[in-house]
Amino acid sequence: MKEKLEKLKSILAETQDLGFAGAVLSWDQETYMPNGGAEARGHILGTLGKIAHQKFTSDEVGKLLEDLESETADLDPDSDDARLIKVTKREFEKNTKVPGDMIVEKANLTTASNMAWREARENNDFSLFAPHLEKLLDWNKRYVELFGPYDHIYDPLLDDYEPNMKTAEVKAIFDIVRPKQVEIIEAIAAKPEIDDSVLHQKYPIDAQTAMGNEIITAIGYDFNRGRMDTTHHPFSTTFGYGDNRITVRYEEDFFNPFLFAAMHEAGHAMYEQGVSKDLERTPLFGGTSLAIHESQSRLWENMVGRSKPFWDWYYPKLQERFPNQLENSDVNSFYKAINKVEPSYIRVEADEATYNLHIMLRMELEIDMMEGKIDIKDLPDAWNSRFEEYLGIVPDNDANGVLQDVHWSFGLYGYFSTYALGNLVSAQLWNRMLKDHPNVEEEIRAGNFTSIFNWMSEKVYRHGAKFDPQELVKSITGSNIDGDAYIQYLHKKFGDIYEL
């Protein structure tokens, strides 16, 4: 058994290395690559993806998994080796259904599509992106058919990001959460509007960067194992153990985008930095799902970064960095400003009370596209119509509407729901952590984030992808993913801010 397990781990290590090599090239594509390199980059990524796919789905891996599954039946089911065999078998069974040529095809499609999306967004011209989106939608429909029969056409896509979760399950959660969030938003709309003009001043980029570096270092991001760069749409990525990078974007005339993106992406990266080294170069190295990943980014961005205790600590430091901008503001008014609830066009800048509605809209549009209810050419109108229904405003152009997110340019259907699920999980984890560490808010006021970081490291980070998302959440909180804790959090926070 030991010899077979070591052989399997050796093959898996090589496939992981190939994946990380592709991640380096994808990161470069989003940060420094000239537009002229798009076609060649697509070929390179396609080749790497095909080699990794062939190696992972080989008959040898299949035979090793078959033998090991029977020979390791007596292992502790939660041991690293038992979980490695279980997770690898699941991924093997999925990947063997996908022809290698489709992997290459998608790499080429997405590289060209991403370049077209950038141009379309810059020129506010959806027609430049539409033909590429048509091709990627077709690819996703062909991909889904590889996994039939299924309960819903969206299930195989969702399963790529949330293992073993079903579309009906997510819809049921959202159907409960949506009306409760709308109720909160309507109650806030009846209150006087918060003045957030303090945020809309010139905040020099150099000073923003210094602030961001100080804050994300304080909460636990390790710059010895990471770095921060600039891109069109912030993201985090991992190139292997000890190299977890984040990207951000800046607006010199608006305070929020950079800092909260930096804290958000640092939350993702800290999760990956905290995975046990014992899981290195295996399919267990990384987050267990995108919802769990998102729970970490949203927890650090919002429950810490937008909290009153956080600004009780950092606001004096902020005034030192931006004395002219903040000379007529105090911590209470600043705290209210960064938490202002107002329907807005851009998802990544949305407040906590409205954010999930942005996600539900996208998931519903994806499902409609997969079911053939919306033609790509009609997507901007469908987006605007549903946006007005959910948020009461209509995007002023496609760059602020249907073109704002990078995800569809990479063919990432099934991804968006994980953002809202992550919000819900963040509140569930936060509540559990407060029971274990009731003095956390006072610690935050002192600039001490050790209890939060250590708790997350112990409960979430170190396990990597050993446990399914629902399994992990239930083991920590005692319940599956649901919206109760998040709705309670919103009621408490915005009830205090808006005196509801």
The type of residue at 387 is F
Pick from 363, 471, 415: nearest CA to 158: 415
Q: Is residue 160 part of a domain?
A: no
Give me the active site residues, please.
Answer: 265
Query: What pLDDT score was predicted for residue 500?
Result: 87
The CATH number covering residue 457 comes to: 1.10.1370.30
- Looking at the structure of the chain, the number of domains it has is 2
Same domain, 248 and 394: yes
Q: Is residue 308 part of a domain?
A: yes
Same domain, 66 and 187: no
Residues of the chain with pLDDT under 50: none
Same domain, 144 and 182: no
Ramachandran category for residue 499: left, alpha or beta (phi over 0 → left; psi -120 to 50 → alpha): left
Residue 229 has phi, psi (to 5 degrees) of: -130, 175
Same domain, 189 and 69: no
| 244: enclosing H helix or E strand | strand 244-248
CA distances from 171 to 79, 175, 183, 363, 372 (A): 33, 6, 19, 9, 19
Q: Is residue 161 part of a domain?
A: no
Q: Is residue 154 part of a domain?
A: no
Q: Are 365 and 383 in contact (CB under 8 A)?
A: yes
Query: What pLDDT score was predicted for residue 75?
Result: 87
Same domain, 265 and 360: yes
Q: Is residue 61 part of a domain?
A: yes
Q: Could you say which of 97, 115, 149 is where a domain stops? A: 149
Q: Is residue 417 part of a domain?
A: yes
- Give the domain extent around 378: 167-498
CA distances from 352 to 269, 338, 423 (A): 21, 10, 9
Q: Is residue 156 part of a domain?
A: no
Q: Is residue 162 part of a domain?
A: no
Pick from 237, 297, 227, 226: nearest CA to 261: 297
Same domain, 144 and 172: no
Which tokens is 349 given?
């800048």
Same domain, 400 and 281: yes
Same domain, 193 and 131: no
Same domain, 484 and 398: yes
> Hunting for tokens 């292992």 — which residue is that?
75
Q: Could you say which of 89, 119, 149 is where a domain stops? A: 149
Same domain, 171 and 115: no
Q: Could you say which of 98, 121, 149 is where a domain stops? A: 149
Query: What pLDDT score was predicted for residue 242?
Result: 94
Same domain, 204 and 101: no
Residues 6+ apart with CB under 8 A from 77: 83, 86
Mode of pairing for the β-strands spanning 236-238 and 244-248: antiparallel
C-alpha 234/C-alpha 237 separation (Å) is 10
Which tokens is 357 given?
């509605």
Same domain, 389 and 440: yes
